[in-house]
Chains A and B, each alone.
Chain A
Amino acid sequence: MKLNERSLAFYATCDAPVDNAGFLYKKGGRHAAYHRRWFVLRGNMLFYFEDAASREPVGVIILEGCTVELVEAAEEFAFAVRFAGTRARTYVLAAESQAAMEGWVKALSRASFDYLRLVVRELEQQLAAVRAGACPPPPLPRRPSALPPKENGCAVWSTEAPVASAALSGSEPPPPPPRRRASAPHGPLDAAPFAQLHEWYGQEIRALRSRWLTSRAQPDRCQGLSWATEGH
């Protein structure tokens, strides 16, 4: 298959936001040795270079339709990028620290275009709802909440990890964590109590999520990892 490799190489080294970068060990093949490479994640493309100063990537892993998993390997801090299909390749990578490994696993799990599009669509719907000044649905029976409140008193889930935020907002600082306000200065929803807003948004998102999960019934499309259920 032909591919516009020249453009791809250009994209690898241009000034678009970088979602993560660092040295990783990459296993050559099933029985091959690890090679230390400089990895750059940009969008749904994971480029790898001979070293940080190289002008052109050695290669790229296109990150659509993959899962990211922790693996048992001789190498410490190892994880895998696994694609579906009988002869599909599994890329085994190893970071140089626990923190680096966690950072990579998180960034790679959210890297697909598919996932980003889903997030954008959810926000688009939320904005439309907020603008329409829609009445919140009738209060639902209180269900036992397994979600512990966050330290700042507000149970809105944070949207981005610091690395991803920095990449997304370019030169701007990441948005401050959501603050609980007694009443918002503008907007049609300032009369609704926060808990009700949270429940309302949560409902919408749970519904969207279950629709998404059923439409992506193949396990290889699942982006979730154990971190996805942390403390919310």
Chain B
Amino acid sequence: MRYNEKELQALSRQPAELAAELGMRGPKKGSVVKRRLVKLVVNFLFYFRTDEAEPVGALLLERCIVAREEPSGFSISFMEDPERKYYFKCCSEEQCQEWMEALHQASYEFMRRSLIFYRNEIQKMTGSPGAVRHI
């Protein structure tokens, strides 16, 4: 599938919601844990070799499953193949929680549901669904 790689690379350089050096292991059998700079930008998770400007790779986070992996780690897999997991190792319980929380919200579909939720809540309280100026 073709995609606009240059723009994705540019996106990886944007301010991140969360960024940290984590241990990362790919889904392939026999892969080893590597230190990667992991960066969450909008609904993409980028991972870099430390001190490299271009990411090794990116994961689109739509329809993903984030699961706890003991100790102090988590995995990301996707609905079409839930057992094919990318593993991440955090340095603490807190860091792990922080990442899981952020990843849970890092999808367009989650944002859509939030939008509907807030509009409904505002509608319930004020009788109109909230005034949002399109900019």
Contact = CB atoms under 8 A, between A and B. Distances in A.
Contact of B126 (A14, A16, A124, A189): A189
B54 interface: yes
Interface in B102-116: 108-109, 111-112, 114-116
Interface string A45-82: 10000000000111111101110000000000000000
Contact of B62 (A16, A59, A213): A16
Interface string A210-232: 00110000000001100010001
A189 to B, nearest CB: 6
A195 interface: no
Give the interface residue-count category, chain A.
35 or more
A69 B12 CA distance: 24
B32 interface: no
Give the interface residue-count category, chain B.
35 or more
Contacts, number: 201
Contacts of A98: none
Given A64-B7, A159-B130, A116 B60 contact: no
A193 to B, nearest CB: 13
Interface of A: 1-11, 14, 16-17, 42-45, 56-62, 64-66, 83-85, 87-89, 110, 112-114, 116-120, 122-124, 126-127, 130-131, 154, 156-157, 159, 168-169, 175, 178-179, 181, 184-187, 189, 197-198, 201-202, 205-206, 209, 212-213, 223-224, 228, 232
Interface of B: 1-11, 14, 42-43, 54-60, 62-64, 78-81, 108-109, 111-112, 114-116, 118-119, 121-135
